[in-house]
C-alpha cells in the first residue's frame, strides 16, 4: 500500500537546490557531504548543508542549516523535506534532526531520500520518529 507521502515525488527544483547545497558542504573531517531542502507552508524553498569544524562533532547538519534559514526568513512550518548524500547507501536525517524537523512539521511530513543519482525513496517523519514528542505535548491546558 502506498501512502500519500510516498506517492509524492520531489520537484526537480528541490533536487537541484539540494545537490547545490551538498556541493557547498564544509566536510573536511568526515568528507561526507549532505544537502537538505525544506519547503515551507509559504511554498518557498530553504536549503542547507552540513558544516563541520575542528571541535568535531560540534558541526551543523544540513537539515539544521535549512531550518535555520527557514526560521530566519520568518517561516515556521515545513510541508516537505529532501535530504541528499553522496554515499552508496540512502541516508536519513539523524535522530537530532528528526526531532528538529518535528518541531516544525507533523508526522505526515514527506521526506525524500536522494543520492548523487537523484531521487530514491520517500518516507514520512512519523515512520522515522514513531511516537514523537512535539510542541503539542507542551501546550498548557486550561483548567
**Could you please report the per-residue DSSP string of 37-64?**
EEEETTS-EEEEE-B--SSTT--B-HHH
For the chain, the average pLDDT equals 92
Which cell numbers hold the place of 139? 501546550
In a domain, 135, yes or no: no
- Is residue 116 within 8 Å of 20, Cβ to Cβ? no
Asked if residue 136 is part of any domain, the answer here is: no
**Does residue 125 carry a pLDDT above 80?**
yes
Share of the chain above pLDDT 70, in %: 92
> For residue 43, is it within any domain?
yes
Instruction: Output the CA–CA distances (angstroms, integers) from residue 20 to 26, 37, 55, 89, 97, in the order listed.
Output: 13, 10, 26, 19, 20
What integer pLDDT is reported at residue 142 of this predicted model? 64
Looking at the predicted structure, is the pLDDT value of residue 81 above 50? Answer: yes
Q: What percent of the chain has pLDDT over 90?
A: 79
Q: Which domain holds residue 35?
A: 4-126
DSSP letter at 60? B
Is there a domain that residue 132 lies in?
no
Tell me whether residue 17 is in a domain. Answer: yes
Catalytic residue among 63, 80, 103, 108: 63
CA distance 132 to 125: 9
43 dihedral zone (left: phi>0; alpha: psi -120 to 50; beta): left
- Mean pLDDT on 87-113: 95
- Does residue 131 belong to any structural domain of this protein? no
* C-beta of residue 10 within 8 angstroms of C-beta of residue 119: yes
Residue 143's pLDDT is what? 63
Mean pLDDT confidence for 2-13? 70
Is 63 labeled as catalytic in the residue annotation? yes
pLDDT, mean of residues 29-52: 97
User: In the chain, how many domains are there?
Assistant: 1
Asked if the structure places residue 143 within a domain, the reply is: no
Q: What is the pLDDT of residues 61-73, one digit of tens each?
A: 999 999 999 999 9
Mean pLDDT within 88-100 = 94
CATH number for the domain that contains residue 44 = 3.40.140.10
Is 41 part of a structural domain of the chain? yes
Instruction: Name the grid cell of 40.
Output: 515551507
Question: What sign for the dihedral angle of Cα 87, 89, 92, 97?
Answer: negative
Cα 102 from chain centroid? Answer: 10
Amino acid at each position: 500500500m502506498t501512502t500519500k507521502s510516498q506517492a509524492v515525488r520531489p520537484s526537480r527544483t528541490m533536487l537541484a537546490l539540494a545537490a547545490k547545497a551538498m556541493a557547498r558542504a564544509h566536510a573536511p573531517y568526515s568528507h561526507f557531504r549532505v544537502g537538505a531542502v525544506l519547503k515551507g507552508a509559504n511554498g518557498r524553498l530553504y536549503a542547507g548543508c552540513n558544516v563541520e569544524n575542528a571541535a568535531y562533532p560540534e558541526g551543523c547538519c544540513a537539515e539544521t542549516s535549512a531550518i535555520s534559514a527557514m526560521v530566519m526568513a520568518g517561516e515556521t512550518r515545513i510541508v516537505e523535506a529532501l535530504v541528499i548524500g553522496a554515499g552508496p547507501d540512502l541516508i536519513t536525517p539523524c535522530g537530532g534532526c528528526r526531532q528538529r524537523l518535528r518541531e516544525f512539521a507533523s508526522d505526515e511530513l514527506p521526506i525524500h531520500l536522494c543520492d548523487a543519482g537523484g531521487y530514491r525513496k520517500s518516507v514520512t517523519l512519523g515512520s522515522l520518529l514513531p511516537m514523537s514528542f512535539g510542541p503539542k505535548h507542551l501546550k498548557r491546558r486550561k483548567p
